[in-house]
Amino acid sequence: MNTVQNHSVEVQSLGLKDYQETWDYQEQLFKSVVDLKLANRDLPEQEQKETPNYLLFVEHPHVYTLGKSGHESNLLLNEDGLKEKHATYYKINRGGDITYHGPGQLVCYPILDLDNFFTDIHKYLRLLEEAVILTLAEYGLKAGRIEGLTGVWLDIDKENPEGAFWNPRKICAIGVKTSRWVTMHGLALNVNPDLGYFNNIIPCGIDDKAVTSISKELNREVSLEEVQGKLKAHLFELFEMNEAK
């Protein structure tokens, strides 16, 4: 546990950036934080350095990523199909199954030392979801969670007589990695993406629920930059962060 908690977070807007390049950059920041934590263990308390925190916002070109617990059968394209869709495919080291990233989707990668905030992965995931739920509420969209499934969904409170969900639609996927309480990977919120790309996978391995976006629900284009600003504000409030100068 850090003696002094650092709630300062460096925010970086990376624009449209290649997935592999961004993943490498995440790994670089992640390793630097973990290495600093390990070095601090061997130092007297007064000589220990604060660990930094980062919040990366990015869009990716068309890409499918498969988490450690996923199944390749949930990707419905072969190599030729990927080329035809101008998409790439990576097996990665986050939790979860398969998902899609592409233009018009807001991806947020928090690289946080949770020793600076709280050491509770369940709470961390729920706060990421809550930040998205609060962001969507600003657009008049009532979102929530489905028990046992990570992420954020619309239309989950309408039940038929048998008690099944009425028409749940996933609008945000979440998958993270943590080591020594340092986080990487994060969330992907569908703002204005081409939802047709989700037809090429079984999203998160769940084949009976639809995927949606803010623009589809509102029937209008929405500014990615605007959504980023709202999401950032809710993350800062929920985690009690402040922006690094």
- Say whether pLDDT at 158 is over 50: yes
Domains of the chain (ranges plus CATH)?
8-239 (3.30.930.10)
Residue 96: predicted pLDDT: 79
Half-sphere exposure of 13 (CA within 13 A, CB side): 10
Backbone angles phi and psi of 47, in degrees to 5: -100, -5
The Cα 81–Cα 76 span in angstroms is 9
- The residue type found at 36 is L
pTM: 0.92
Which pLDDT belongs to residue 157? 65
Note the pLDDT tens digit of each residue in 26-71. 999 999 999 999 999 989 988 999 999 999 999 999 999 998 888 8
Question: Where residue 209 falls among pLDDT bands split at 50, 70, 90?
Answer: low
CA end-to-end span of the chain: 25
- Residue 22: C-alpha distances to residues 44, 86, 170, 196, 203 (Å): 35, 18, 24, 24, 22
The residues pairing with 11 across neighbouring beta strands, listed in sequence order, are: 55
Q: Please classify residue 142 by burial: count the beta carbons closer than 10 Å to its beta carbon, then call 0-12 exposed, 13-18 middle and 19+ buried.
A: exposed
Residue 135 to residues 12, 36, 120, 187, 226, Cα–Cα distance (Å): 19, 33, 23, 13, 10
pLDDT band at 206 (very low <50, low <70, confident <90, very high): low
pLDDT band for 207, please (50, 70, 90 cuts).
Answer: low
204 is catalytic: yes
The C-alpha atoms of residue 107 and residue 80 are separated, in whole angstroms, by: 26
**Average pLDDT in the 129-143 region?**
97
Does 232 score more than 60 pLDDT?
A: yes
Q: At 3, is the pLDDT very low, low, confident or very high (cuts 50, 70, 90)?
A: low
Task: Please give the Cα distance from 69 to 84 (Å, whole number).
Answer: 27
Active-site choice (112, 152, 204, 235)? 204
What's the pLDDT score for residue 208?
Answer: 53
Q: What pLDDT is recorded for position 2?
A: 56
- CA 39 from centroid of its chain's CA atoms: 29
